[in-house]
Amino acid sequence: MSTLSPSESTHAQSKTGLSAIVGERRQLINLAYRLLGSLAEAEDAVQETYARWYALSRQQQEAIESPGAWLTTVVGRICLDVLGSARARRERYVGTWLPEPLPNRAEWIGGRAGGSAEPADPADQITLDESVNMAFLVVLESMTPAERVTFILHDVFRYPFTEIAEIVGRTPAACRQLASSARRRIRATQAPAVPAAGQAGLVRRFKEAWEVKDIEALVRLLDPDAVMVADGGGLVGTVLCPVEGSRNIAQYLIHIADKASGLTLLERTVNGRPGLIAQHTGTTVTVAAFALAHDRITRIWAVRNPEKLWAWTESEQT
């Protein structure tokens, strides 16, 4: 029977510990993306979290009873700081700021430019559930940073209020109130669920009507009070204010179709739900997510800011 020398045993334990730490990455990315609404910022937050872990001495690391909980606490605090500074940045943002759209695994097989050798597939790291659909992320943007962090940690990731209190610097009772306030915001915006097949069919009919420039068909597919919001970030041309009303939206879409010749529309999954992307000469220039209710489209979120489309454009280069 072979045995390990003391140095070999220490090395084996070190490798086991490293594996466990690295294994937390997916959970941390899932959390940070929901907190920040940006995959790029989420990866930066997680990278900073690991940098802080590896900056600890071996003795300090070994003294931490639960490395996973430590990492979660650190990434939560980093995201809280980012959300605080993001509010000031977004006040200066040109037009409407929308969350960064996320493709699914089958539609994004590349990695982030300049990234590590680790798999960087966001859909391999992000669990595509109801807490990442665009409608949900947009509501999160209306919350205070403390509300958002508390709600996501408790209601999505099931962390106890006692642990959340350490992250947001509030009492557990205050965290309960924050989560309750966040739930009221969510409930106020929830629409009746549309079956997945119905969602895909409605988006497909919308695409087909847009391609043939059938304005009346578009109007019928849109809720009379539908709203379309676009995010160009001041980097590309797009409407700066929301377009309201089914006919106004349909007319705007026909105007875009007339103006942008050579635009190709493709059905894609956007943040776990049926959506569309628009490509020009093979490059994705717009990613559109939809909210549906009663067999009508109620919201369209069109992300055109190229800085938010890296996960879509890099796949075209692989």
β-partners of residue 116 are none
* Residue 34 and residue 177 in one domain: yes
DSSP letter for each residue of 203-235: HHHHHHHHHTT-HHHHHHHEEEEEEEEEE-TTT
Is residue 238 in some structural domain?
Answer: yes
Q: Which CATH number belongs to the domain containing residue 96 in this structure?
A: 1.20.140.160
Backbone dihedral angles phi then psi of residue 6, each to the nearest 5 degrees: -55, -40
* Residue 175 and residue 207 in one domain: no
Q: In this predicted structure, what is the pLDDT of residue 117?
A: 36
Tokens 């990434």 sit on residue = 75
Is residue 135 in some structural domain?
Answer: no
Q: Are 136 and 130 in contact (CB under 8 A)?
A: yes
pLDDT digits (tens, 9 = 90+) for 175-223: 999 999 999 998 888 766 677 678 999 999 999 999 999 999 999 999 9
pLDDT digits (tens, 9 = 90+) for 9-47: 344 344 446 777 888 999 999 999 999 999 889 999 999
Q: In this predicted structure, what is the pLDDT of residue 112?
A: 42
What is the C-alpha to C-alpha distance for residues 139 and 239, in angstroms, rounded to an integer? 21
Is residue 288 in some structural domain?
Answer: yes
- Long-range CB contacts for residues 209-217, cutoff 8 Å, separation at least 24: 210/253, 210/254, 210/257, 210/265, 211/257, 211/265, 213/254, 213/257, 213/258, 215/247, 215/250, 215/251, 215/254, 216/250
* Residue 38 and residue 151 in one domain: yes
Is residue 130 in some structural domain?
Answer: no
pLDDT > 70? residue 122: no
In the DSSP assignment, the letter for residue 316 is: G
* Residue 222 and residue 163 in one domain: no
Could you tell me how far CA 284 lies from the centroid of its own chain? Answer: 18
* Residue 174 and residue 265 in one domain: no
The confidence band for 128, taking pLDDT boundaries of 50, 70 and 90, is low
Domain-terminating residue out of 189, 217, 243: 189
Helices marked H in the chain: 6-22, 25-36, 39-54, 58-63, 67-91, 122-125, 134-141, 145-151, 161-168, 172-189, 196-211, 215-221, 246-259, 310-313
Q: In this predicted structure, what is the pLDDT of residue 132?
A: 84
pLDDT digits (tens, 9 = 90+) for 43-99: 999 999 999 999 999 999 999 999 999 999 999 999 999 999 887 777 788 889 999
pLDDT > 90? residue 106: no
Domain-terminating residue out of 156, 189, 222: 189
- Long-range CB contacts for residues 220-225, cutoff 8 Å, separation at least 24: 221/296, 221/297, 222/246, 222/249, 222/250, 222/296, 222/297, 223/293, 223/294, 223/296, 223/297, 223/298, 225/298
* Residue 233 and residue 84 in one domain: no
Tell me whether strands 263-270 and 273-280 are parallel, antiparallel or unpaired. Answer: antiparallel
Domain-terminating residue out of 189, 207, 225: 189
Could you tell me how far CA 158 lies from the centroid of its own chain? Answer: 19
- What would the mean pLDDT of 308-312 be, rounded to a whole number? 90
Is residue 99 in some structural domain?
Answer: yes
DSSP letter for each residue of 147-164: HHHHHIIIIIT---HHHH
The confidence band for 260, taking pLDDT boundaries of 50, 70 and 90, is confident
What is the C-alpha to C-alpha distance for residues 194 and 147, in angstroms, rounded to an integer? 28
SS3 call for 303? strand
* Residue 214 and residue 176 in one domain: no
pLDDT > 90? residue 314: no
* Residue 155 and residue 266 in one domain: no
pLDDT > 60? residue 7: no
Is residue 313 in some structural domain?
Answer: yes
Per-residue b/e over 197-232, b at no fewer than 16 CB within 10 Å? eebbebbeebbebbeeeeeebbbebbbeebbbbbbb
What is the C-alpha to C-alpha distance for residues 281 and 127, in angstroms, rounded to an integer? 31
* Residue 46 and residue 99 in one domain: yes
Q: Which CATH number belongs to the domain containing residue 225 in this structure?
A: 3.10.450.50
Task: Specify the number of domains making up the chain.
Answer: 2
* Residue 50 and residue 155 in one domain: yes
Is residue 132 in some structural domain?
Answer: no
Report the greatest alpha carbon distance in the chain. Answer: 80
* Residue 233 and residue 161 in one domain: no
pLDDT > 70? residue 113: no
Provide the residue range defining the domain that includes 200.
196-317
Helices marked H in 93-195: 122-125, 134-141, 145-151, 161-168, 172-189
Is residue 253 in some structural domain?
Answer: yes
* Residue 156 and residue 260 in one domain: no
- Report which secondary-structure segment, H or E, holds 263: strand 263-270
